[in-house]
Structure 1
Amino acid sequence: MLPVEPEFIPARAVAARAAPALAILELPGRQGVGFIVSPWGYLVTNLHVVAGAEMVHVVLADEQLVEVEEVIALDEKRDLAVLRLPTQDVQAMDLAPDAHPGEGDSLYILLPAGAGMMGLMETRVHAVQVLDESLTFLELEAALPEDASGGPVLDASGALVGVATCAFADGRPVTIVIPSRYVLPLLEQPGSQPISALAMARPAASRQRHVPTHPLSLLEGCATDAVEEVALAIMHAIQLGAPTYNRGDPEGCYRLYARTAARLIQERSDCPGAQGALRDGLHRCTQLADADERAWALRDTFDGLLQVIDRWLQAQAAFARMAAPKSYMQ
């Protein structure tokens, strides 16, 4: 028998404590996950899992099949739904609204594994993303199956830190976590709505990014120092512009980005490819009437340049290592 590695023991314990509160949501043509957060049958899941449904059946951990009776709260901005089940004294998870996992922290996602079994996905926080002043979420390293959206996310201590959500960014699926602190106020809302409220509910659409993908040849002929200076200028603009945008001033963010782009176009004749990409970004902005869209258009331009610069610098470093003279011990 192989020895059990110590790092797997906490994960097993986390899963064992949380498993009784896991629930599978069955809807026509699709499936999702939810979890119980109160002994009165309050269940949390993603709004996009249940939006448009006329009926929702739930399979509890003890294989009991129940039907959702009421809608307690819906949050379209954060893609959350709280439903009430017709069952009492069920085991519930405790929310941890004060938990704030950071980049690199380990997290665990509970998800059904078929045949009544439960799976545990271990992953890490890839980044903490601030969408605006009303929503901060975690982007994870692992890819979550789409039918596992709405599941609970726990930290190494077993604290419930949020809701696992399948989303899309730059046209690719990503796994994010909606933090528990956004769930707690929904549980405290007075009253309820009939299940028919789901038929009209629609989660807020994710912003579609248009980050250009440039070939390495875009930076052909550029000196390394010049490329690094362009990257630093762009990162500095983002560091100033993103908080401005998050304070509700997209016009101020756009103007800051535009000034940076115009300055680099004027000063960096030693990076003609970067100049061209920035000109394209500014030209795109002239076709957009909304300040919010212009700010994101230039952010897409900046991110596209940062991505190709990162790849170009890695390629340059690899080439330098290959070209370096080698010495061999005799």
Structure 2
Amino acid sequence: MSDDVQARHARAEEALRRTSASLVLLDLGGRTATGFVISSEGHVATSLHAVASARAITAVLPDGARSPVVQVAAVDERRDLAVLCLPLSNRVPALPLGPPTLPSEGEALHVVQAHADRPPETRTLEVRAVQVLGEWLTLLELTRTLPEDASGSPVVDARGQVVGLATAALANGRALGLVIPVRYLAPLLKTPGPPQPLSALDTPRQRAPRVRQVPQHPLGLLDGCATPAVESVAALLGQAINVGAPAYNRGDVEGCYRLYMHTAEQLIDERDDCPGVQRALRDGLLRCEGMKDAEDRAWALRDTFDGLMDVIGRWRQSRPASPTPASKRPPPKTYLN
């Protein structure tokens, strides 16, 4: 065993030792999930989709004691988080949350999962990518998938700090291992009002966070496009995003999708001078044909638009700068919100 492998193994063992004392196995009647205590009042963090619509939850503590969970402290549907109330709060120490700073790509993290029939285990995985879904959520994609019952497990770094909560997810038919950063957990402890009953876990959307599928186009996609045509495409895409994204956030998912669809169709009809753009937009619309859900279709076209905006941005950077006097330069254009 190499020194590097030995060092990683030692760090994983230390992460397991420190974290196991705060693990809680959530018995949902026929299936399980993992949670971990994050406050001295006995608040247990876990994945919302793992406990959604549960009619009974039993918490199995590290010492083997079992306790029914009947109250919910907070729910964050958009970020797939739930905080439960553990009655036996004094028997499980809280796991201190780490700083809000995100791990970097390539950094090794440890996912610590509770089990019903054996001791907790640690999986060591690396950060594949940092996914920015918008101002409301940034998450980490891991290099390997996670089993479904690992959702809710604490994720710690090499220093033993909790950096987030593990989630086994499915995006566009592809299994993924994700981490919801710890920065979204702390505010849930300040949720006003008394605890809620388990019915608060009933949610119409029991799905894990969406991972973006933004195409990575080569610069050759814009071959033959004149500068005014490229700028016109960017302006129209930017306008659609700046109107569609707020509509989506207000709950008008169908309206957002239809705006994106009409924008794509308009550019396909008008931009014969940019065949690469037309091809990319047709591919996006073709993806939508196999999707029944308006939300999936809206995100498929948003990914298509963002892929085009990305290649346009790189195309601009590759162009030679023109000696425009500073006093006559137009203000920078902002297309992405």
1:243 & 1:266 partners in 2: Cα distance? Answer: 22
User: So what's the TM-score if we normalise by structure 2?
Assistant: 0.68
Calculate the aligned-residue CA RMSD, in Å. Answer: 4.5
Q: Which of 112, 126, 129 is matched with 2:128 structurally?
A: 126
Say whether the 8 Å CA contact 1:265–1:279 is kept in structure 2: no
User: May I ask how many residue pairs the two structures share in their alignment?
Assistant: 288
* 1:284, distance to aligned residue in structure 2 (A): 8.1
* 1:242, distance to aligned residue in structure 2 (A): 11
- The change in CA–CA distance for 1:44 and 1:199 in structure 2 (over 3 A counts) is closer
2:244 & 2:21 partners in 1: Cα distance? Answer: 39
- Tell me the amino acid that sits aligned with residue 272 of structure 2: Q
- Tell me the amino acid that sits aligned with residue 66 of structure 2: L
1:242 & 1:17 partners in 2: Cα distance? Answer: 49
Q: Which of 274, 298, 308 is matched with 2:301 structurally?
A: 298
1:245 & 1:14 partners in 2: Cα distance? Answer: 45
Say whether the 8 Å CA contact 1:152–1:164 is kept in structure 2: yes
Say whether the 8 Å CA contact 2:46–2:82 is kept in structure 1: yes
- The change in CA–CA distance for 1:225 and 1:48 in structure 2 (over 3 A counts) is closer
Q: What pairs with 1:132-147 in structure 2 (closer than 5 Å)?
A: 132-147=134-149
* 1:112, distance to aligned residue in structure 2 (A): 2.7
Q: What pairs with 1:3-22 in structure 2 (closer than 5 Å)?
A: 5-22=6-23
- The change in CA–CA distance for 1:244 and 1:160 in structure 2 (over 3 A counts) is farther
- Tell me the amino acid that sits aligned with residue 194 of structure 2: S
Question: Which residue in the other structure is 1:59 paired with?
Answer: 60
- The change in CA–CA distance for 1:11 and 1:77 in structure 2 (over 3 A counts) is same
- Tell me the amino acid that sits aligned with residue 173 of structure 2: G
* 1:104, distance to aligned residue in structure 2 (A): 1.6
Say whether the 8 Å CA contact 1:52–1:202 is kept in structure 2: no
Say whether the 8 Å CA contact 1:133–1:246 is kept in structure 2: no
Question: Which residue in the other structure is 2:272 paired with?
Answer: 266
Q: What pairs with 1:221-260 in structure 2 (closer than 5 Å)?
A: 226=220, 248=246, 254=260, 258=264
1:20 & 1:244 partners in 2: Cα distance? Answer: 47
1:260 & 1:12 partners in 2: Cα distance? Answer: 57
Structure 2: state its 5+ residue gaps.
Answer: 225-229, 249-255, 309-337
- The change in CA–CA distance for 1:13 and 1:199 in structure 2 (over 3 A counts) is closer
* 1:196, distance to aligned residue in structure 2 (A): 3.4
1:86 & 1:24 partners in 2: Cα distance? Answer: 14
2:38 & 2:137 partners in 1: Cα distance? Answer: 21
Question: Which residue in the other structure is 2:26 paired with?
Answer: 25
Say whether the 8 Å CA contact 2:261–2:285 is kept in structure 1: no
Identity of aligned residues (%): 39
Q: Which of 187, 193, 196 is matched with 2:195 structurally?
A: 193
User: So what's the TM-score if we normalise by structure 1?
Assistant: 0.70
Deviations 1:40-74 (A, max 9, x none): 21111111122212221011111111111321111
SS class of match (1:5): helix
Say whether the 8 Å CA contact 2:80–2:209 is kept in structure 1: no
Establish whether residue 111 from structure 1 lines up as the match of residue 113 from structure 2: yes
Question: Which residue in the other structure is 2:313 paired with?
Answer: none
- Tell me the amino acid that sits aligned with residue 248 of structure 1: P
Question: Which residue in the other structure is 1:317 paired with?
Answer: none
* 1:302, distance to aligned residue in structure 2 (A): 6.7
Deviations 1:228-274 (A, max 9, x none): 859xx8xx96x9799958973777x94998499649963466x7xx8
Q: What pairs with 1:151-166 in structure 2 (closer than 5 Å)?
A: 151-166=153-168
* 1:208, distance to aligned residue in structure 2 (A): 7.7
Say whether the 8 Å CA contact 2:49–2:206 is kept in structure 1: no
2:142 & 2:244 partners in 1: Cα distance? Answer: 22
Question: Which residue in the other structure is 2:314 paired with?
Answer: none
1:85 & 1:41 partners in 2: Cα distance? Answer: 5
1:118 & 1:18 partners in 2: Cα distance? Answer: 9
* 1:198, distance to aligned residue in structure 2 (A): 3.8
Question: Which residue in the other structure is 1:39 paired with?
Answer: 40
- The change in CA–CA distance for 1:95 and 1:243 in structure 2 (over 3 A counts) is farther
Say whether the 8 Å CA contact 2:45–2:84 is kept in structure 1: yes
Establish whether residue 77 from structure 1 lines up as the match of residue 75 from structure 2: no
* 1:99, distance to aligned residue in structure 2 (A): 2.6
- The change in CA–CA distance for 1:135 and 1:210 in structure 2 (over 3 A counts) is closer
